[in-house]
Every structure is written in structure tokens, then in C-alpha cells.
Amino acid sequence: MKRVLIAGLSIIVYNSFAQDFPRQDFNLEKLADEIFPLQDLDLNYEELYENLAQLLSNPLDLNTVTREQLRSLFVVTEEEINTFMMHRKENGALFSVYELQSIPGWERATFDAIIPFVTVYDSQSKLNSSILRRIVQEKNNYLLLRYGRVLEDKPGYNTGGTDSTQRYAGSPDKLYMRYRVARSNDFSAGFTTEKDAGEKMNWLPSQRQYGFDFTSWHVAVQNKGKIKNLIVGDFQSQFGQGLILGSVFGFGKNSETVTTVRRSNLGFLPYTSLNENLFFRGAAGSYAMGKHVIIHGFASHTFKDGSIDHSTNDNLAISSFSVSGLHRTPAELRTRQQVGETDAGVIVQFKNQLVDAGVIFHQTEFDQPVAHNPRPYNQFSFNGSKNKNAGVYLNYSWANFTFFSEFAQTLNHGSAVTAGLLGNITHQLEIAMLYRNFSKDFYSFNSNAFSENTVPQNERGIYWGWKYMFSKQWSASGYMDLFQFPWLRYRGYSPSEGSEWLLRFNFSPSKTVLMFLQAREESKIRNFPDETNLYLNTNGIKRNYWINCDYEAPPFTFKTRAQFSSYQLGGVLTHGFALVQDVSLSIKRFSFSFRYALFDTDDYDNRLYVYERDVWLAYSFPAYYGAGIRTYVLAQYKASKKIDLWVRWSQIRYTNRVEIGSGSETIAGNTGNDIKFQVRIRF
């Protein structure tokens, strides 16, 4: 009777306050700012985080969601996962997402964090209708159109003035189109196309271009009898701890100090992101051989960007890979999809309530041998045309703890191992520990394991992370990571060791106020500029500090942040800071966001990545460096139940330079303006 009453109240609350699909856009900011705020590597964070943002467009069904899927959200503790699974087992299907509030041990903060990513489907309609009818009737069915460009002129688009070798082939317009219809753990179908600024629209099937420069598509079904998963088209894979097969759902060290250490064993996933290198293309399937054994297999053939050495016609070789995804100039176009890559793999998985274990075999073959241009740091880089990896993984759950591990071996070369433990010691205290050891000649081209380097190679390390809830208002978290590099690495021409630590305090006196203080330090060697001695290096120390306050005064929401940085190398200390004020306003069908930011950094080492709100399913992570002012305005209008419109204008104005960028990207003057439009049509 008690559960019926709770469920009834949940349905009333749901019908009164639940928002139409898709979920609230501000949760993208929450995801980036509170879970993954560290952006210090020189990566394309917009493409990296966009993949995780797709969860907002395809929420998980709480009545079919698995432990691994809950872990992949990074916001639920092991104790909360256990109590949820027990609640569902004892009480049956959930009536509403708001029923999560009735589960013992679930914190309000967890509920607020997870609700954008989950839903509850009508189980009766799901069982009583065919898959084709469910696809036609599915509410998660939309078309997204996006346009953007820089308003200033750049010499790359000047057909009369710039060097023809640096001239762009296409217009300065950036175009994006995406269609998807999906239901969690049931089906998914869609396509994504994109043209970057400077790229040309062409219909050249012989060169694998169909209008847009990049096109991705997939069709997938799940849980159809013994066929647990079947994907045709573009897909990604996540098995074990990502040593051999890891998707872009894995994140490294950040202020979420516990849950992001472990990789979730998600299997095959449709690929819906814009990164042009991190996916397979072909077919993948998972078949249940029995109650506890599942066979996974895939085959893929893709073409990736790379430079081919034509110095001798009889011995062609791949000298380097290109990962920018840009095809604008003649030089960039010559690298477009020049490297053929064939992948095949088999995974045998054993799974019951406590144990998830498996054996992995994966082979990658290139149509030309790889022969990297020799550098001091890449003497152990992969060379050849074929690479084979074999490995095993073991995950074990007990009470409120989970042990996770994977061992992988590149046949005839090196090995890699990672193992860790995370869980709740008490209701207030969470911990995580992880050990890793990667040989300098371990090669894996589709990995995303926890590591200090961008790939699991040439590294040993041990990580400790913790979170403690003093009360509902106060909490703290932190980590310490000690690591070694047994061989040389890029910009570090000596075997070395380093360390990194983070400490964060959170204070939330009410539902409308959140404040945090955060400090982080990283120490590792870097080559010291010296033209006479390439192997001269010294220790570099990077420090970052954050002060943040979010507060609501309906209909306004305010966010105030101060970020500071310093970098010390060879006795020289440089600094940087950014002061950011955000204001958001929602009035009926309109939503507005505004930012005014001041920044001043001494050099590029002190650049500060600051998340910016963007149109739905887009991420913006510009690096603030130099001295200047950054502003943007984002407006959303709900034209009807089926149509949403966005427009975004942003500007950066430098006070210490007379031009922006270099080469073909140069803007004459100290100001750059961007404009972006987007429309979403729901079917």
C-alpha cells in the first residue's frame, strides 16, 4: 500500500512538473562544470563531450537499465546502485522517474543529477506493439539542423590574395544535420552529417563523400530474444577497462574523483558523435549462448586520414595519421581517408549477479605499413601493418564495492594491466584506488583506459580518490596520482616520474545555492628550450584554482566563477586568470543566457578552458589565453511542441594584440565574432 501511494504521488508530480523531451539544456552545463571541469589538455573537448551529451537525447529506461549503464553516468554510487536494483527486484517495474526519491539511501543530489538521463517507458505499450510501430510512435524522434560561421574575413577564403597551397576549398559556413529515433535497450536508428568551415560540399562516391564532408549512420536493435545487440553501420565498443576496446565514454582524472575511475562494460554502442576517427564501421552483434554466457563479435572497415610516403613507388608507407578531421586546404585534402583500416574482434563474456568476466581478441590491419618518421621519443611506436591484442578482464561486485581489472597483451610485444577498487566504506565516505602498468611497446588503437598519457603506453601509476559527505550541505573530495614514464615521451626526453593532486570543497546551503573551492597541482618534466641539447629537461609545475558560486533568484540564474593558474618551468613563473559572470533567464517560451568574462594569461601554458553554454547537444570549450574579454548571448524559443529554435552570438576581444590567429585563419583586428543557428523538429 505504501508503494502504491508513493507511486501515485510520483505520477502526479511527474505530470505536473516533468518537461517535454528532450531534457533541460542546462544539465549539459551541470555535466561539464560539476563532473568534468578539468580541461587542461590540448584536445577537442567539444567533440569529446558531445558523445556523452547524446545521453540526454536517448534517456535510459529505469525498468531495463543495467548496473553498467548506471555506472556509465558517473553520478551514482555503488551503494545507490545496489539499493536501486534491490528496489526494482522486490517491487517490480517503476511507474515514474520520481519514484527514485523513495529509494532508501538515495541522496537528493543523486536524484537531481540522474533525472535528465533516465525515463520510464510504458511497459505494456512496449510489449503489445511491433518494433516498426514503436519506431513510428516513439517520442524520441527528431531532426536537428545547425548553421554557424565566423563573421570576420580570413585569408584562407580569399581567392585572390592568399597562397594557393593554404587556400580553403569551401565556404566559411559550418553545417550540421542529425536525425535519430531511439528507445533505450530497444532500438536506435539515425544519421549525422557535417561540413566544417572551409570544407567543400561534393558528391564524390568514389572518394566516399556524399555532399557533406563527414557522414555517419547506424541501425541497431537490442534484446530481441537471444540477440542482445545488433548494430549495422557506425558503432563504438566498450569492454573491460578499455585497454583493448574503449569508447569515448571513458574520462580521466577530474573533480568526480571516484566513479569516473572505472570503465563501464557497455559492449557495443551506436556511434553518433562528430569525431571522424574514434569509431568502427561495419557490423557488431551480441548473442546469448546461455543464461550467463554472451558471445560478442564485430567486423569493421574504415578509411582514416593519414600521410602516405611516396618517396619510392615500390614501398609505400603511412608516415603519420591526421586526427583533426579538417579537409580544407590541398594539403589536408591529400590526407583525407588515405589509410584503409580493417578491424575484427571476438569477446566471450561470462556474467552473473556478482561476476562479469571475459576474454578479448582484437586484430587491426592497415592497407599500408606504418613507418613513423623517427623521433627520440617514438622509437617504440608501432610500425608495421598488422597488430593483434588478446586480453582478459574481471569485474567483481560485493556489497557496496566493485573490483575491476583487465590484462592485455600485444602479441610479440608488450603488455598492459590495470586493476582497481571503488565503493562506499560508509554512507558518507566513498573511495577509489587504481593501479596501472603499461609497457612502452603495448599497442592499442581503440583504447580509452585510465592513464596520464593520451594512450595506455609507457606508464606506471597508482591513484587514490575519495569523497566525503559531512552533511547534506557540506562535502569534500580529492585524489592523489603518482606516475612514472619508463621511456621518453613527447616533450619529455628522459625517463621520469610525476604527481598530481586535487582537493575540492562543496557547500550547498539550499537548493538554490551551490559554492565550491577547488585546487589542483600537476608536476612532471618537460623539455627545456635549448637548441644545443635536445635532452635537457626540467620539472614543470602547473597549478589551477577555482572559486565558484551558483545561485537562483527565479526567473534568473546566476553563476560567478574565478579561475587562476600558474606554471613554473626552469625558474620562470607565469600566471593567468579568468573572471566569469553568467546570467540565465527563462520567460514562458523564451530562454536566454549571457556571459561576460575577463581573462589575462601570460602564455599558452596558462590557458584556461571554460565551458560555455551552447545550442542543444553542442559543447563549447574555448581556451582563454592572452588578455581580453569574452561574451556570448544564447537564446532559445519554443515555437511549438514540435519545433525549437536557437541562436547564439559570441565575441572575443583582445586587448594585447592587433590580429587574431595566424596563416589562413588570421583575422585582421583584435575582435572575432561567431554566429550559430539551430532548429530541432520533433516527429
Q: Give the rounded distance of the alpha carbon of 562 from its chain centre.
A: 24
Cα dihedral sign for 530, 532, 534, 539? negative
Region 488-512 average pLDDT: 92
Cα dihedral sign for 272, 276, 282, 284? negative
- Of the listed ranges 173-177, 315-319, 323-327, 583-587, the one predicted with least confidence: 315-319
Q: Is 52 left (phi over 0), alpha (psi -120 to 50) or beta?
A: alpha
| Structural contact between residues 196 and 326, judged by C-beta atoms closer than 8 angstroms | yes
pLDDT in tens, 594-639: 999 999 999 999 999 888 889 988 878 888 999 999 999 999 999 9
Closest to 382 measured CA to CA, from 450, 298, 315, 317: 317
pLDDT in tens, 434-479: 999 999 999 999 998 999 988 899 999 999 999 999 998 999 999 9
| Residue 213 in grid coordinates | 564532408
pLDDT in tens, 238-254: 999 999 998 766 667 87
* Domain residue spans of the chain: 1-35+59-136
CA dist 439 and 457 (Å) reads 6
Beta bridge partners of 474: 507
| Structural contact between residues 423 and 401, judged by C-beta atoms closer than 8 angstroms | yes
pLDDT of residue 374: 83
Q: What confidence category does residue 122 fall into, taking pLDDT thresholds of 50, 70 and 90?
A: low
What mean pLDDT is reported for the chain?
A: 87
46 vs 592 pLDDT, higher one: 592
| Residue 204 in grid coordinates | 564524390
Neighbours of 104 (CB within 10 A): 8
Region 98-105 average pLDDT: 85
| Residue 312 in grid coordinates | 619510392
Region 179-206 average pLDDT: 92
The pTM for the full model equals: 0.88
pLDDT in tens, 40-85: 555 555 555 665 666 666 788 899 888 888 888 878 888 889 899 9
CA dist 506 and 354 (Å) reads 33
